[in-house]
Structure 1
């Protein structure tokens, strides 16, 4: 059983997907973290983010893995080799560059292959931007989360402030809108709703309300 949760940045995908996985005792896979890990490594190694061949080669050799924190019910730590990059991949620098890396068709092909290996033939909640359309088009449950740009900026600013980053909400909102455009217009695996996905607007809903609705969809299968 695959539950695919797609949506733009800061629409609530990660928070909701984690809680759904915990509620149902499913595995959890954050595909966005994989693209962020490639971006982090590209920045560390000074790989040109406009060089698609170099990015594809990097994506093929980067050793990404997920582990559980002590006491956690899901894989919530991200490693590149032996380096824990869970916080580093959420930095403003990585956030500003990840769309450029993720739009590279070669990178996406490599990551999709890995994502299918990680989640296929398991009960998994998988979140991203092209899960229901490209990675797992046969997923039994498909959800597309949305929220207003202002609410998404507010949520992301709170996350970043908790991690010690200083952010401007207005600038962040403009950045999110720009990223939506890049993600939606890329040729490979664009951000889009699968025709059979349920749209859930999370702007005025609590996490529990959204999780309850997705669990109901699962129970109806």
Structure 2
């Protein structure tokens, strides 16, 4: 494989992943997405997110983004969960299980405790008829046409699609909760973003006079 072939493969992957993200808006049930935003935005408790393998990476990104807009979230490691970690889950909470196939054993075994505690169960999966899909109070189907890898196995485009969903949820939550620039400055004082916020250098485009995010 020469340099030209490598470049071609890199470009192909980026194009296919971009296509997968672009197609998400057309296949996602937007009513359910809006329901998830309202559920998180109005819930008294926290959001507990769990996943295995690559889905765990998407789950961790979702947790970080939710915390960035002050929707308290934690990542629950599946193996720790069944050894006492499920104690973090409360009846006021939302448990989000992310599983591509929807039958991941380590996640399915968390469902009984969720039911016993009275928390809301949300599934994010390609298969709505899977164990997680059928058990969930709210199931969001996130499915891509194919993965870029030649075997259509390595979870790449599908993982980015899940991350994109939660990015969209978090940005919608900023609107739903009327999240302000001033609030963001308190929890993000460092880095380039912190410098812009604290230094009052952030552009006012997209914000009203009170600092709330404006709608279209």
Task: Report if TM-score (shorter chain) is over 0.5.
Answer: no
The structure with the greater share of residues assigned to strand is 1
Whose Rg is larger?
2
Higher relative contact order structure (alpha carbons within 8 Å, sequence separation ≥ 6): 1
TM-score computed with the length of structure 1 as normaliser: 0.31
